[in-house]
Amino acid sequence: MANDSDYSEKQGQEEAAYEARCRRCGGCCGAYDTDPCARLRKDEAGKYYCSVYDHRIGMQKTVSGKNFACVPIRILQPNLPFKGCAYYEKA
């Protein structure tokens, strides 16, 4: 079953590399909208982060209490909110 293990390891590495592209601008979480995700936080350096990152996928709420489905960035990629996002760039 080494092939399954190798495949899982490769998938993990690709996911980590993809996630590393994020500049933590907060755009995909609504930082520049009037009603961002309620879990979106900003650190002292001005970078955004999700307060429940490891458990973010699924139903969440905006600051005003509206429900929305948080999805992996790969699903959003074709419709990202702005062209300055690092995920628009080629790896």
Residues 6+ apart with CB under 8 A from 52: 39
The DSSP secondary-structure symbol of 79 reads: G
Q: Which residues in 32-58 are b (16+ Cβ under 10 Å) and which e?
A: eeeebbbbbeeeeeeebebeeeeeeee
pTM: 0.75
10-residue mean pLDDT series, the chain (91 residues): 80 82 86 93 95 94 96 70 68 51
